[in-house]
Amino acid sequence: MKNFVFGKSEWGQAILGCRFGKSSGKKVLLLGGVHGDEIEGIAVANALISQYIEKDDLDLELSIVPSFNPDGTLCGNRKNANGVDLNRNLPSKDWTSDVANERYYPGTAAGSESENQALMNYLDENDVDFIISLHSFSRFLLNVNGDCEPIASVLHQHTGYPIDESMGYPTPGCLGTFTGLEQGIPTITYELERGKDPKELIPVHCKAIHEALKVYSETN
C-alpha cells in the first residue's frame, strides 16, 4: 500500500488516499464521502482499504480516497465547509449558479472548492481510466456515465442494484457529467442504501467491487 495526500479541504484538512495493486495496470479511482453525511459510502471505502491491506491481489491500480469531503463529514453535513454541494460544483458544461433548492447549492463559480480543485489536479496528473464514487440514497442504484461496462454489470450481478443512466432529476455540475460524459473517464455514481447498517453493506459491496475490478483488469 502507498499512502498519498489527495489534497486539502476548505478548512485545511488533509484529504488522504491509499493506493493498491499494480501501477502497470488500469487506473481506477474510488471516492467515498463526496457528500459528508453519506457515511455508508465512507464505511465501504474504508472497508476496502482494510481488505486490500490484508490481501492485495489486484491486477490494476486502485486509488481509494475514502473521505473526499472531510469538513462535511466532521459536521455531519452533506455539503462542504462553504455550504457547497461538491457534486454540483464541478466545471461541466451544464454547471449553473441557478439553484432551486439550497441542498444543491453549487457555489459561486464552477470548480471553486478546494476539494474539487484537488480532484481536477489529480485527474490532470494521473491517467485515470475509471471512477467509482460511493454515495447513499433512498433509491439504491448504479448511475452510469460513459461506457461503464463490464464493471456496472458485475456490480449489478452481485448487488441486484439497477443500472441507470439518469438519477431521475437534473444534476448540473456533477461528477458523472464532468468526468463520465465530458472527460472520457467512465464514472459510476454508486448509490448505496441510505440508512442501512454498514455491517450489512460492507461484505456485499466490497465483494461486488472486488469482483468487478477483477473482471475489468482482465478486459482490454
> Which parts of this chain interact with Zn ion (CB under 5 A)?
35, 38, 135
Neighbouring C-beta atoms of residue 82, cutoff 10 Å:
17
Give CA–CA dist 209/191, Å, rounded: 13
17: closest CA among 43, 49, 47?
49
Closest distance between Zn ion and the C-beta of residue 78, in Å?
A: 7
**Residue positions counted in the chain:** 220
With respect to Zn ion, which residue has the nearer C-beta, 21 or 66? 66
Does residue 170 sit in helix, strand or coil? coil
Closest distance between Zn ion and the C-beta of residue 193, in Å?
A: 13
Nearest residue by C-beta to Zn ion?
Answer: 135
Structural contact between residues 1 and 18, judged by C-beta atoms closer than 8 angstroms: yes
Burial degree of 135 (CB within 10 A; 0-12, 13-18, 19+): buried
191: closest CA among 172, 171, 173?
171
Number of alpha helices (DSSP H) and beta strands (DSSP E) in the chain: 6, 8
Closest distance between Zn ion and the C-beta of residue 9, in Å?
A: 17
With respect to Zn ion, which residue has the nearer C-beta, 176 or 186? 176
With respect to Zn ion, which residue has the nearer C-beta, 38 or 113? 38
Closest distance between Zn ion and the C-beta of residue 112, in Å?
A: 19
With respect to Zn ion, which residue has the nearer C-beta, 19 or 135? 135
With respect to Zn ion, which residue has the nearer C-beta, 68 or 130? 68
State the virtual CA torsion across 26, 166, 111, 36 in degrees, nearest 10.
-90
Closest distance between Zn ion and the C-beta of residue 14, in Å?
A: 22
With respect to Zn ion, which residue has the nearer C-beta, 38 or 193? 38
Closest distance between Zn ion and the C-beta of residue 136, in Å?
A: 7
Cβ-based neighbours of 64, under 8 Å, separated by 6 or more: 17, 18, 19, 20, 30, 32, 45, 48, 49, 52
